Amino acid sequence: MTQTPTPTPASVQGPSGASGLTEPSSNGVPRRSSLTQNTLPSWLWIAMLGGSLVLGAALSALFGFNLATWFIFTAVIYILSSYFLTRTKVNGRRATDGLWTNLVYLAFLIALMPLISVIWSVASVGIQGLMAPGFLSSDMQGITGLVDEASQTEGTPVLGGIFHALIGSLLITLAATVISVPIGLLTSIYLVEYAKGGPLSRAITFFVDVMTGIPSIVAGLFAGAAMAWFLSVFSGVTGLLTTQRSTLGITAAIALSVLMVPVVVRTTEEMLRVVPNELREASYALGVRKWRTILKVVLPTAISGIASGVTLAIARVIGETAPILVTAGFVVNTNWNLFQGWMTALPVYIFRQFQNPTSPNFSDPSEQRAWAAALVLILIVMGLNLFARLIAKFFAPKQTGR
Amino acid sequence: MSKRVDVVDLNVYYGDFLAVEGVNMNIDAQAVTAFIGPSGCGKTTLLRSLNRMHEVLPGARVKGQLLLDGEDIYESGVDPVTVRTQVGMVFQRPNPFPTMTIRENVLAGYKLNGARLSKSQSEEIVETSLRSANLWNEVKDRLDRPGSGLSGGQQQRLCIARTIAVKPDVILMDEPCSALDPISTLAIEDLIGELQQDYTVIIVTHNMQQAARVSQKTAFFNIAGTGKPGKLIEYDDTTSIFNTPQEKSTEDYVSGRFG
Ligand SMILES: Nc1ncnc2c1ncn2[C@@H]1O[C@H](COP(=O)(O)OP(=O)(O)OP(=O)(O)O)[C@@H](O)[C@H]1O
Ligand SMILES: [Mg+2]
């Protein structure tokens, strides 16, 4: 096959050559627009996918049908057949391109599977408990082993709920946010706007990186120890609060903020760095002071990213179990006070219901509640992620035109 | 309302790198002065040192005197923010604030500084500023739409309106038309001609015809080679610079033989 200097259909088809399918007819009048040469009709792929599904099902049935082998056979058949079809009918370059595209889609599907199966299994098991009357609005006070035993053996409705855990999670996470957002925001403002790459800013960046890797249980132990130390010093100096124990909602909030601060610093830093310098200079040139420029130009421009970063940080810590268990403990009644008494958070509730069922010999009601609470937790996290996207969209600077 | 600018033995540095050396010039009030010269000769650097914007870059510093109606803006104890309220600046690329509407952009100099304006005051500032920027007719029906929704030329005029809204004495413009089409360029050149009546205007341009059209005085800068400082070569009436330049390099540059 000779190469011609101008790109004719033959030359762009590449070294593997082409067959008659896309060749213009011999009298010189193309059957299709010359621009659609080298393509296969799009319905073909759907047809091939259908064929692969059927064939995959048939092959899978040979070994005793199940979904996993069906999926594998279908994928292999579809990818191979489309590769060879493109190779013989169009050209090798397009075939390789298609092969990789299909492999990327396959990888995406495989990556999606654990997520979908987690959501599916939690939802299917948890929905029953979630529908139980009073599940969201009652706590576990008065729910004894006998109540659960009756539910399991005599079929009375499963009582008890997660109200106390919801309140606990909400208050603890809220307090953690209130602590860590100002710290994180100010730190990143310092890093981006004031630090000039000196040793202090490099030290901060280093320690923030180290903090990102702190195991959450260590954060919990730290917060517990810090609170105990603070209380002993405080009562030693003032003589007050001598009987106060360090197991409190606020201690858990401190533990969570240790985990949250580095995330907030990192995301906020990124968002502040992408604010164009031109905007800062435009503001300076109008005779606006630096702190006002940061407050009124830089932060509003970056606010959507900051807010969604904070929301994602919240979503990240709301599922923490160990640091809350060691700092806030576990109770069955609703505690509204962060500064007095033990508190339950949703993940701790789930953990306890599985690990120490209310009635050790009749654990079905406890498991039902645990799954339902897990479903609620997943819904909260998904809701927060959705919320973060909405914030990002809603606050984004209106960039139209140009 | 407009002030003269006198530059005395000015050296401008980026860290240890001397970017502009030994500039002496007297810039008239109520006139347009153009800075021309090949790329990298320090026009932007000098312009930014006229309103102390140069020093916001890390390591950047200035030596020498810069007198605004006889008062040195680089004297110790002078607040750069005060200088910048008197010497406004329009940048090469239009940069309206993306979070603000057209109206808020015009009022930015007041709003960002926390000034309280009555409704009638702000209405008046918005209208007069936009009118003097020749933008009023185009945007009067959409003052509450985002400023970034305008065309590039309109955005640049919005930035000019934003600058004149705070009533500076001197307006610096760094290649204000380089991102614009010929029609918008003409609109801005007309505008510069009008601004001259009330302000001292200093404009950097690469466009020789533009310098000849809008300015009364022209300063030609040149650089001996890469890494060398830029210097003021010749500063005179625009007609002299373009018709009877005293220096060989000026003649070569304005006649397009290099640069
Ligand atoms: N931020 C900076 N840090 C260090 N050196 C700089 C910086 N900005 C500019 N320079 C240097 O200063 C010199 C003058 O640059 P300047 O931007 O003032 O040139 P200019 O005349 O405006 O050029 P142009 O016509 O291309 O805009 C150049 O050698 C440039 O490399
Ligand atoms: Mg420049």
Residue A222 and residue A211: Cα distance in Å, rounded? Answer: 12
- Separation CA B205–CA A64 (nearest Å): 79
Element (H, E) at B63: strand B60-68
What is the architecture, at CATH level 2, of domain A163-394?
Orthogonal Bundle (1.10)
Residue A69 token pair: 């082998």
The pLDDT, as a whole number, for residue A28 is: 52
Residue B223 alpha carbon, nearest atom of ligand 1: 29
Do the chains contact at B98 and A281, CB–CB below 8 Å?
no
Which atom of ligand 1 is least distant from the CA of B43?
21
- For residue A202, the distance in angstroms to the closest alpha carbon of chain B comes to 17
Q: Which of B81, B82, B99 sits opposite A300 (nearest CB)?
A: B99
Nearest-Cα distance to chain B for A269, in Å, is: 19
* Whether B97 contacts B105, CB under 8 Å: yes
Domain layout of chain B by residue ranges: 5-254
Ligand 1 pocket by Cβ (under 6 Å):
B 14, 17, 19, 37, 39-45, 57, 230
> What pLDDT does A21 receive?
45
Ligand closest to the CA atom of residue B61: 1
Q: Enumerate the residues of chain B whose CB falls inside 8 A of the CB of residue A292.
A: 112-114
Q: How far from A33 is each of A13, A23, A29, A323, CA to CA, in Å? A: 16, 11, 10, 67
Q: Which atom of ligand 1 is nearest to the CA of B221?
A: 21
Distance from the alpha carbon of residue B3 to the mean position of ligand 1, in angstroms? 27
Is the Cβ pair B84, A284 closer than 8 Å?
A: yes
pTM, two decimals, is: 0.82
Test B84 with A289 for CB contact under 8 angstroms: no
Q: Which pLDDT score is estimated for A360? A: 87
Q: Would you give the distance in Å from CA B4 to the centre of its chain?
A: 14
CA of A299, closest CA in chain B: separation in Å? 10
The SS3 of residue B13 is: strand
Q: Which of A278, A284, A286 to probe the B interface (max B CBs under 10 A)?
A: A286
- Ligand 1, pocket-test mutation among B11, B12, B14, B47, most atoms within 8 A of CB: B14
SS3 state at A137 = coil
User: B46 CA to middle of ligand 1, Å?
Assistant: 10
Question: Could you list the pLDDT tens digit for every one of the 402 residues in chain A?
Answer: 444 444 444 444 444 444 444 444 445 555 556 776 667 788 888 898 999 999 999 988 988 888 888 988 999 999 999 999 888 888 888 889 999 999 999 999 999 999 999 999 999 999 999 998 889 999 988 888 888 888 888 888 888 899 999 999 999 999 999 999 999 999 999 999 998 888 999 999 999 999 999 999 999 999 999 999 999 999 988 888 778 888 999 999 999 999 999 999 999 999 999 999 999 999 999 999 999 999 999 999 999 899 989 998 999 899 999 999 999 999 999 999 999 999 999 999 999 999 999 888 888 999 999 999 999 999 999 999 999 889 888 877 655 433
Which of the listed CATH numbers 3.20.20.450, 3.40.50.970, 3.40.50.300, 3.90.209.20 matches domain B5-254?
Answer: 3.40.50.300
Strand partners, B173: B90, B203
Instruction: List beta partners, residue B231.
Output: B21, B222
B199-251 pLDDT, tens per residue?
A: 999 999 999 999 999 999 999 999 988 889 999 999 999 999 999 999 999 99
Strand order in the sheet with B200-204: B71-72, B60-68, B5-14, B17-27, B230-237, B217-223, B32-36, B200-204, B170-174, B87-90
B89 Cα to chain A: minimum distance (Å): 6
- Give, using CA atoms, the residue closest to atom 27 of ligand 1: B39
Residues A185, A364: contact at Cβ < 8 Å?
Answer: no
Residue A397 in tokens:
């600077």
From-to residues of CATH 1.10.3720.10 in chain A:
163-394
